[in-house]
Amino acid sequence: MADDYLLGMDIGTTNIKAIVINSAGQIQAKASRKISLIMPAPQYVEQDAEQWWNCAVEVFKELRSKTGSTVMDNIRGICVSSQTVTMLPLDRDGKILRNAIIWMDNRADDEVRYLTEKIGLKRYMDIIGTSPNSTFLARKILWLMRNEPGILAGTHRILQVSSFVNYRLTGEMTMDISQAAMTQCFDRNTGRWSETVGKAIGVDLDDLLPQPLPCGEIIGCVTKTASEETGLKEGIPVMAGASDCMTSMYTTSMTKIGDAGESSGTSSMLFVASTKQSRPDCAVSTKPCDIEGVPYIFDAPLSSTGASLEWFLRTIGKKDQYDHLNLAAASVPAGSRGVFFHPYLQGERAPLWNSHSRGMFIGMTLNTTTDDMARAVLEGTAYAIRHVAEVIADEGAKIESLRITGGGAKSRTWSKIKASMLNVPVLITDKKCGEVPFGDTLIAGRSVGIFKDLKASINELVAIKEVIEPEPEWVKYYDDTFPYFKKIYASLDDTLRELQDKSDIISNN
């Protein structure tokens, strides 16, 4: 008798990854494809939605070629997660009207100010539960209205990345509740699109955005057309997933209060389990969590953690040589011989919500080496994580251990710095179950009844490969210097704000 199988796919910022597992959680096959960024102007970051679909099709076909029909024809459920706060407008026929504007895009600063003044900061924060920021969907819709009104007039629905792939699979235009809650168009008090935000923008959000579906709800089945294009069997149920960051939470093995997790990739998402909902004026907000015993989860996005490492290696002519970075950083004492790095290369989201912040090396001398700078990059991203953790701790959610998953978990030096920065043990998940698509399969498996108890399944299937303890001498150094990391940023914030317009002029020349 054939086993039951599950397919999970995650569409990140630069990669599409997918896996197939059996009912015991064993991975049968993996496949991935690179996707590209389009940056037509400073602060503009877009992607071609057709590339998402074309790469997804290639991934589905590769999985079939690796596993065969016995596996692929016995898939019981598909779940897709993705990067979020994307704006992809489609017309009534599902035609793409423009490139998708993704989360990294910061073009809508003027729109942030307008909506905040129109609604009122306190009222707006009461509705959305966090600080307004240019990366989120509300501002992008207003930007579209002001700059491309013809596109908005022809728009039937605005979708997220996973929503678009699910639409191509099932013919249904949907959005999951996880991504809806991150749009800053969603009223966390009513669980619906905010009429107040819609009126401030000048649109009916109930008409423009799909009604949010609970994570794991079946949204439709693979259509005949999609089956012919992808090689997937017609009729396979497709479930509403979640943002890649929320899905990755399942792969960190977080199951109790005191647990924290980091999904470490191009950007990072820090999760902290909480017994209560965040205050509206907190710089980091909570989302409801469906793991028993964890009613809420803080989810804090940091914009350029892994991207800072990639940028540094590329800049010094060592592109993709992460082993070089780790060895260089390990050869330098804690503190990088006085060099600080602020990893705000694309502005920063949590806890600053500041699109004009910029990356900085501070404290360099004629004796500073690239090895010192390498360690400073690792430490700077860890300082940024500590900054978020401090804000969350003020809300009453303390971190007792940090579980790391994703590409950043490969660096033992970086993980030891994080352990020492937070003074907690760091747990590294096994790479076989530590990637986001594995979390998608957990969602799909629960929906179709293969995994009866999500918490038990996480504990059983997500393995911890290594525990890294803090280094006491590093802990003391980071405790002493963390206030200066924050003070340097605060001292230069107004200057960077003043320079932004001039910098944009320079960039355009």
The pLDDT confidence band at residue 505, using thresholds 50, 70 and 90, is low
User: What's the rounded Cα separation, in Å, for the pair 387 and 284?
Assistant: 11
The pLDDT > 70 percentage for the chain reads 98
Q: Over the stretch 5-38, which tens digit does the pLDDT of each residue have?
A: 999 999 999 999 999 999 999 999 999 999 999 9
**Domain(s) of CATH 3.30.420.40: residues in the chain:** 5-245, 252-432+471-509
* The pLDDT of residue 256 is above 90: yes
* The pLDDT of residue 146 is above 60: yes
What region, left, alpha or beta, does residue 202 occupy, with left being phi > 0 and alpha being psi -120 to 50 degrees?
left
DSSP 278: P
The pLDDT > 90 percentage for the chain reads 83
DSSP codes, 243-269: BHHHHHHHTTT--STTEEEEEESSSEE
The pLDDT confidence band at residue 2, using thresholds 50, 70 and 90, is low
21 and 442 in contact (C-beta within 8 Å)? no
pLDDT, the chain, mean: 94
| Residue 113 burial (CB count, 10 A) | 13
User: What's the rounded Cα separation, in Å, for the pair 310 and 304?
Assistant: 10
* The pLDDT of residue 235 is above 60: yes
In 3D space, the residue among 137, 217, 100 whose CA is nearest the CA of residue 170 turns out to be: 217
Assigned architecture for domain 252-432+471-509: 2-Layer Sandwich (3.30)
* The pLDDT of residue 506 is above 60: no
| Residue 490 burial (CB count, 10 A) | 9
Beta bridge partner(s), residue 314: none
What's the rounded mean pLDDT across residues 87-92?
98
- Total residue count of the chain as it appears in this document: 509
Q: Over the stretch 48-77, which tens digit does the pLDDT of each residue have?
A: 999 999 999 999 999 999 999 999 999 999
Containing 50, the helix (H) or strand (E) segment is: helix 49-67
pTM value is: 0.85
The pLDDT confidence band at residue 1, using thresholds 50, 70 and 90, is very low
Bond into 214 cis (ω within 30): no
* The pLDDT of residue 274 is above 80: yes
462 and 253 in contact (C-beta within 8 Å)? yes
Edge-first strand listing for the sheet containing 27-34? 27-34, 15-22, 5-11, 75-82, 237-239, 218-221
Q: What is the pLDDT of residue 509?
A: 52
87-101, 219-233, 245-259, range with the lowest pLDDT: 245-259
* The pLDDT of residue 431 is above 90: no
In 3D space, the residue among 451, 478, 476 whose CA is nearest the CA of residue 387 turns out to be: 478
Mention every residue, 6+ apart, whose C-beta is less than 8 A from residue 407: 264, 265, 306
Q: What is the pLDDT of residue 406?
A: 84
Residue with tokens 């924060």: 125
Highest mean pLDDT among 253-262, 399-408, 410-419 belongs to 410-419
In 3D space, the residue among 181, 211, 213, 187 whose CA is nearest the CA of residue 200 turns out to be: 187
Per CATH, domain 5-245 is 3.40.50.10140: no
Mention every residue, 6+ apart, whose C-beta is less than 8 A from residue 332: 371, 372, 374, 375
Q: What is the pLDDT of residue 503?
A: 61
Q: What is the pLDDT of residue 454?
A: 83
Say whether 274 sits in a helix, a strand or coil.
Answer: strand
What's the rounded mean pLDDT across residues 166-194?
96
* Residues 324, 325, 329, 331, Cα dihedral to 10°: 10
What region, left, alpha or beta, does residue 450 occupy, with left being phi > 0 and alpha being psi -120 to 50 degrees?
alpha
The pLDDT confidence band at residue 287, using thresholds 50, 70 and 90, is confident
* The pLDDT of residue 390 is above 90: yes
Instruction: Quote the tokens at residue 132.
Output: 């307004």
User: What's the rounded Cα separation, in Å, for the pair 486 and 342?
Assistant: 9
DSSP codes, 177-242: HHHHTTSS-EETTTTEE-HHHHHHHTS-HHHHSPPEE-TT-EEEE--HHHHHHH-PPTT-EEE---
374 φ, ψ (degrees, to nearest 5): -60, -45
Q: What is the pLDDT of residue 434?
A: 75
Residue with tokens 């989302």: 287
375 and 421 in contact (C-beta within 8 Å)? no
181 and 197 in contact (C-beta within 8 Å)? no
Say whether 47 sits in a helix, a strand or coil.
Answer: strand
1-5, 20-24, 407-411, 415-419, range with the lowest pLDDT: 1-5
Q: Over the stretch 434-481, which tens digit does the pLDDT of each residue have?
A: 788 999 999 999 999 999 888 888 888 988 999 999 999 999 999 999
99 φ, ψ (degrees, to nearest 5): -60, 150
Instruction: Quote the tokens at residue 423.
Output: 């003074």
249 and 271 in contact (C-beta within 8 Å)? yes
Residue with tokens 């991150």: 182
What's the rounded mean pLDDT across residues 210-230?
97
